[in-house]
Chain A
């Protein structure tokens, strides 16, 4: 047996390619270690350390630039698409960290491992966004999922938290099975798990019609659909989102969705050249089902957290609209929307977190009555986020939805756009219902006093609000970035 030759320069290039991930994992391990030796009252330092790690990683992503760097014999790649999603995921992680300390202290669940779990999950997401081998994507998915299962059940004293975690875990394992089985079938048909090697084979009509391969693609799609909660694979979402600590819910709804969509976009855009005629109807149906069921279910919720959970299901449907056409404009629209969605959704959860006094009980919509004029800053921020979620100008949500639907129209999917606009119009009812409660309904009894936010928390809210507003008014630079990212994939 010959010793395996290690190519030092290839190794270095590979490590350089995953430098942002290395930084995050190193921070996670450091935090875990420091937590052991740090006295309990100084735990807040851990949050600061984590934020520094995330900032460094984010800086590295920018410093590495948009150039394509491939590593580990093509298992991962640093390219425009990867960089775009790393920015989305790291921003979501940073916002979550800024909110986490205050939240955990109110809830009395301030523990050091929270931060390392969050960071480890983030590293998994980043690998998923950068993976060019189906195995890398799968490993990334598992690395992101396992810490998230723990985080959902982080409130061990709350029944709903534990229940949500268990459901999510059991179903997640089930869905991972589908994904892995899909990868296996695709491997059986093509002899490779590398996406780049699969793409040229798709021009062979026999492969494109091979049942083994197509079944593999279908199962892969099911696995992704579960993670981004497309109907009918969404059943776990409301329970897990409602049960999880709200700060984790915010993180999941933005970052997990972004990571899973990153991998889905990479696979779909690269393979759709050959598969679009097969898949577009499937994506069309999934998108319509997801938008419609998500919005209609959200309409009747009285628990704000559950309402936002259904709203996040509906948003997965909107984002999928951009992928039905499978071209640059659609991909670009989906990317832009995922970025905007991360900020507006975390922002909305952030404000709701402050107003609700207590997990489980505090999220009833009645609780919001009378908040409006008493706490104008908080109410104004929540209104901004909800208006953006509803797609009303001049917010980023409007620009994003406009792009998604015009991409569909440009390719002649008129009905998809009509259903999308109709859904979007319907969604405004439940978003603005919250606004109506805040401003137009007198409180029953005392108006609840929101928790006074820490400076870090206020910073996170203000940052989200500025992104939502600025990208609504001058979105062009980010749109161009999204366009370059999609193009980098196809080159």
Chain B
């Protein structure tokens, strides 16, 4: 009876798709006529700040939308839980289920079916996507209630959930690519939701352009996999790894090429150096979108993809090194930017980039389990932080600048308490979820055979900086004197239950979420690692010996405990420094900024990376293609036209002269091409 539920796994992506259809119909037939009528009556021109429009009497269809949107995702969550339980009831080696929906692409012995694959890795992902996704949908129903295009918003959000579930449930790289492009599309649509705002539509475009680079790498990687393995289905590819590497088809160079190309895709989607620039700008979208797409789910797709391909990555020490280095560098680089930002959402955005760096660091040192573990805990506490910041912004009528906040603790008790818990979690305070997952990564960065003490040091330092900027955020927002505009201060209010209940649930998860992966050294039991072991064990067996769990056995327990204590101490130092600078000596930060003006400005301006990219690439490419086009279609013709036109001038009237001139040159190009082509064939 219990296993029967696995046959209904297709419901997991299908339910959000149903939501898209229903809400889409409502958006088209109920909402659009209203919006058009309103536009015809003249827009009263309300500002498009976060969540603040005029207060209209709610139309009846809105209640239906607010029900359907979250309900379909909630139902998908229920199905996911049941399916995962059914999977867990099986013996560990048999926890694998594939459902072929229909043959999709088939030709010449090659086949990529539209199929879903449920295994320990994808089950973690669907639980996170539907679980956290459901809470964010509920929150959105409250947060977006003043928006005019309410149904349209839920269409996009449900569509995103559908695409994300396709991405993680697909049983081959092509289905993953379908989801990959789908989440990208929804992301641009939702970033540009307030498209009248120029910065929003610019941000949408930027995300789009940067992601093209990543997609190019991903697609080439998939083609190279196809060329090497003759298939793109996960099970077939990974099963062939030992055989093909034994008979020399799959050399280390090819493995390196494949994995680096895939990693380019991951860098784009998961916002790592050098393609991270789009994520901070993506904060122009509504805050629940930032929580769902740009913190909890979509941006982790790259981590999922790397973990999914673990047996390929393990074949290439070079790729592992690149992944770990990029991850560690991104972790510390964006953490330093986080210190200087004043927009509450931008701090969280850079923090997300930094935390994603941790996940890649974990993958790069072979600790894929730890990476996925951190992916999960991060989804809890970062979604909570974003939703909390949304609650703050909501209370302050759209204000996002932390310099205009302060003393909100007494006004927003629930928001404060929950956000404070999330902050403790991300800072790595022992006992909370973030501590266990981050500590696992730090330990593996040090102890794994792919690891290095330098990676540990960088990651530990970044952990300290994380604690610092997060407590800076909390102190600036909730403590101290009020720096609010008087007009804003009058209206400060705690958010409605539809928003605070998701916060409380996420707070609980941020605390207990890590308890399923307590390391042995703390007398706990790592259930999470045990659960994922079947997925990553085959990778380890096919690669260069066992990485991860077994590496730890060579090191003394004291060392592990010592490093753990060290990283906690670094985090406490960060908190202490933040307390000193933002609670005790509140004018000190300004003095420091003035003492090192050059450095401060560089960091405040995000190391001028945007400006450098614009100078190096954007303008060059635009100018380059104009030049090329002119060379081919304009200059080439004009140049020769002038000569010929001069020769035939006087032979006829103006129009004919122009016509024959141009056509003559077209014909000349044709002739030249023909001469070259035939000439090549003959003289070859």
Q: Could you list which residues of chain A lie within 8 angstroms of chain B, going by C-beta atoms?
A: 163, 166-167, 170-171, 174-175, 178, 211, 214-215, 217-219, 221-222, 225-226, 232-233, 235-236, 238, 278-279, 281-282, 293, 296-297, 299-300, 328-329, 332, 372-374, 376, 392-394, 399, 402-403, 405-406, 409-410, 414, 417-418, 421-422, 425, 428-429, 432, 436, 439-442, 473-476, 479-480, 483
For residue B681, CB closer than 8 A to chain A, the reply is yes
For residue B527, CB closer than 8 A to chain A, the reply is no
Chain B residues lying within 8 Å of A171, measured Cβ to Cβ, are 663, 666-667, 670
Question: Nearest residue in A to B679 (C-beta to C-beta)?
Answer: A218
Give the 9 A-B residue pairs with the shortest CB-CB distance, closest first: A440-B201, A218-B678, A235-B666, A232-B673, A393-B178, A425-B216, A440-B195, A222-B674, A218-B681
> With A and B bound together, what is the CA distance between A265 and B174 in angstroms?
29
Distance of B109 from chain A, by nearest CB (Å): 10
Which DSSP category, helix, strand, loop or mixed, fits chain B's interface? helix
Question: Nearest residue in B to A425 (C-beta to C-beta)?
Answer: B216
> With A and B bound together, what is the CA distance between A432 and B204 in angstroms?
12
Contact call B674/A476, Cβ cutoff below 8 A? no
Contact call A429/B677, Cβ cutoff below 8 A? no
Decide: A399 near B220, CB < 8 A? Known: A393-B177, A393-B178. Answer: no
Decide: A217 near B681, CB < 8 A? Known: A233-B673, A297-B632. Answer: yes
Distance of B14 from chain A, by nearest CB (Å): 14
Decide: A299 near B625, CB < 8 A? Known: A282-B680, A406-B223. Answer: yes
Q: Which of B227, B628, B682 contacts A218 (CB 8 A)?
A: B682
Distance of B365 from chain A, by nearest CB (Å): 31
Q: How many residues of chain B are within 8 Å of chain A by beta carbon?
A: 65
> With A and B bound together, what is the CA distance between A282 and B676 in angstroms?
10
Task: Supply 9 further A-B pairs (C-beta < 8 A) apart from A425-B213, A473-B104.
Answer: A163-B659, A171-B663, A221-B677, A235-B637, A235-B669, A282-B681, A329-B108, A402-B174, A436-B201
Q: Could you list which residues of chain B lie within 8 angstroms of chain A, going by C-beta atoms?
A: 28, 32, 35-36, 102-108, 110, 114, 149, 152, 174, 177-178, 181-182, 185, 189, 192, 195-196, 200-201, 204-205, 208-209, 212-213, 215-216, 219-220, 223-224, 226-227, 625-626, 628-629, 632-633, 637, 659, 662-663, 665-667, 669-670, 672-674, 677-678, 680-682, 684
Chain A residues lying within 8 Å of B181, measured Cβ to Cβ, are 392-393
Chain B residues lying within 8 Å of A418, measured Cβ to Cβ, are 220
Question: Nearest residue in B to A406 (C-beta to C-beta)?
Answer: B226
Contact call B104/A215, Cβ cutoff below 8 A? no
Which DSSP category, helix, strand, loop or mixed, fits chain A's interface? helix
Contact call A421/B220, Cβ cutoff below 8 A? yes
> With A and B bound together, what is the CA distance between A428 and B208 in angstroms?
10
Contact call B220/A296, Cβ cutoff below 8 A? no
Contact call A442/B36, Cβ cutoff below 8 A? no
Contact call B107/A483, Cβ cutoff below 8 A? yes
Decide: A296 near B212, CB < 8 A? Known: A222-B673, A222-B678. Answer: no
Q: Which of A293, A392, A425 contacts B632 (CB 8 A)?
A: A293
> With A and B bound together, what is the CA distance between A171 and B665 in angstroms?
10
Q: Which of A221, A409, A421, A473 contacts B226 (CB 8 A)?
A: A409
11 residue pairs A–B, Cβ–Cβ below 8 Å: A170-B663, A178-B674, A214-B681, A279-B681, A393-B182, A425-B215, A429-B212, A442-B196, A473-B104, A476-B106, A479-B107
Contact call A297/B212, Cβ cutoff below 8 A? no
Chain A residues lying within 8 Å of B637, measured Cβ to Cβ, are 235
> With A and B bound together, what is the CA distance between A233 and B178 in angstroms?
36
> With A and B bound together, what is the CA distance between A48 and B556 in angstroms?
86
Question: Nearest residue in A to B668 (C-beta to C-beta)?
Answer: A235
Distance of A464 from chain B, by nearest CB (Å): 20
Contact call A475/B678, Cβ cutoff below 8 A? no
Contact call B107/A219, Cβ cutoff below 8 A? no
Q: Which of A417, A440, A483 contacts B192 (CB 8 A)?
A: A440
With a 10 A CB-CB cut-off, give which of B208, B626, B663 has the most chain A CB atoms. Answer: B663
Q: Which of A167, A281, A293, A432 contacts B663 (CB 8 A)?
A: A167
Q: Which of B104, B205, B665 contacts A476 (CB 8 A)?
A: B104
Q: Which of A211, A296, A409 contacts B625 (CB 8 A)?
A: A296
Decide: A439 near B195, CB < 8 A? Known: A174-B670, A238-B633, A299-B625. Answer: yes
> With A and B bound together, what is the CA distance between A417 and B220 in angstroms?
8
Chain A residues lying within 8 Å of B659, measured Cβ to Cβ, are 163, 166-167
Chain B residues lying within 8 Å of A422, measured Cβ to Cβ, are 216
Chain B residues lying within 8 Å of A226, measured Cβ to Cβ, are 670
Distance of A286 from chain B, by nearest CB (Å): 8
Chain A residues lying within 8 Å of B185, measured Cβ to Cβ, are 392
> With A and B bound together, what is the CA distance between A190 and B433 in angstroms?
80
Question: Nearest residue in B to A430 (C-beta to C-beta)?
Answer: B625
Chain B residues lying within 8 Å of A376, measured Cβ to Cβ, are 28, 32
Decide: A175 near B212, CB < 8 A? Known: A166-B659, A297-B629, A440-B201. Answer: no
Contact call B673/A429, Cβ cutoff below 8 A? no
Chain A residues lying within 8 Å of B672, measured Cβ to Cβ, are 232
Contact call B223/A278, Cβ cutoff below 8 A? no
Question: Nearest residue in A to B672 (C-beta to C-beta)?
Answer: A232
Contact call A439/B227, Cβ cutoff below 8 A? no
> With A and B bound together, what is the CA distance between A186 and B177 in angstroms?
47
Q: Which of A329, A372, A373, A473 contacts B107 (CB 8 A)?
A: A329
Q: Which of A282, A421, A436 contacts B205 (CB 8 A)?
A: A436
Chain A residues lying within 8 Å of B106, measured Cβ to Cβ, are 476, 479-480
Question: Nearest residue in B to A221 (C-beta to C-beta)?
Answer: B677
Question: Nearest residue in A to B196 (C-beta to C-beta)?
Answer: A442
Contact call B684/A278, Cβ cutoff below 8 A? yes
Chain A residues lying within 8 Å of B681, measured Cβ to Cβ, are 214-215, 217-218, 278-279, 282
Contact call A405/B677, Cβ cutoff below 8 A? no
> With A and B bound together, what is the CA distance between A219 and B671 in angstroms?
10
Contact call B628/A429, Cβ cutoff below 8 A? no
> With A and B bound together, what is the CA distance between A394 and B681 in angstroms?
41
Decide: A476 near B667, CB < 8 A? Known: A219-B674, A296-B628. Answer: no
Chain B residues lying within 8 Å of A405, measured Cβ to Cβ, are 223
> With A and B bound together, what is the CA distance between A374 and B201 in angstroms?
17
> With A and B bound together, what is the CA distance between A479 and B216 in angstroms?
25
> With A and B bound together, what is the CA distance between A293 and B625 in angstroms?
9
Contact call A403/B670, Cβ cutoff below 8 A? no
> With A and B bound together, what is the CA distance between A418 and B189 in angstroms?
29
Chain B residues lying within 8 Å of A429, measured Cβ to Cβ, are 209, 212
Distance of A270 from chain B, by nearest CB (Å): 18
Decide: A476 near B103, CB < 8 A? Known: A222-B678, A414-B227. Answer: yes
Contact call A425/B212, Cβ cutoff below 8 A? yes
Contact call B670/A474, Cβ cutoff below 8 A? no
Contact call A296/B629, Cβ cutoff below 8 A? yes
Chain A residues lying within 8 Å of B213, measured Cβ to Cβ, are 425
Distance of B669 from chain A, by nearest CB (Å): 5
Distance of B224 from chain A, by nearest CB (Å): 8
Chain B residues lying within 8 Å of A474, measured Cβ to Cβ, are 102, 104
Decide: A399 near B680, CB < 8 A? Known: A171-B670, A232-B669, A442-B196. Answer: no
Distance of A476 from chain B, by nearest CB (Å): 5
Question: Nearest residue in A to B107 (C-beta to C-beta)?
Answer: A479
With a 10 A CB-CB cut-off, give which of A221, A235, A299, A476 has the most chain B CB atoms. Answer: A235
Contact call B209/A440, Cβ cutoff below 8 A? no
Contact call A174/B667, Cβ cutoff below 8 A? yes
Decide: A440 near B226, CB < 8 A? Known: A170-B663, A222-B674, A399-B105. Answer: no
Chain B residues lying within 8 Å of A399, measured Cβ to Cβ, are 105
Contact call A409/B227, Cβ cutoff below 8 A? yes
Contact call B105/A402, Cβ cutoff below 8 A? yes
Chain B residues lying within 8 Å of A475, measured Cβ to Cβ, are 104-105
Distance of A443 from chain B, by nearest CB (Å): 11
Contact call A235/B670, Cβ cutoff below 8 A? yes
Contact call B684/A421, Cβ cutoff below 8 A? no
Question: Nearest residue in A to B228 (C-beta to C-beta)?
Answer: A409
Chain A residues lying within 8 Å of B663, measured Cβ to Cβ, are 166-167, 170-171
Decide: A441 near B104, CB < 8 A? Known: A167-B662, A473-B114. Answer: no
Decide: A421 near B223, CB < 8 A? Known: A219-B678, A476-B103. Answer: yes
Chain A residues lying within 8 Å of B682, measured Cβ to Cβ, are 211, 214-215, 218
Chain A residues lying within 8 Å of B212, measured Cβ to Cβ, are 425, 428-429
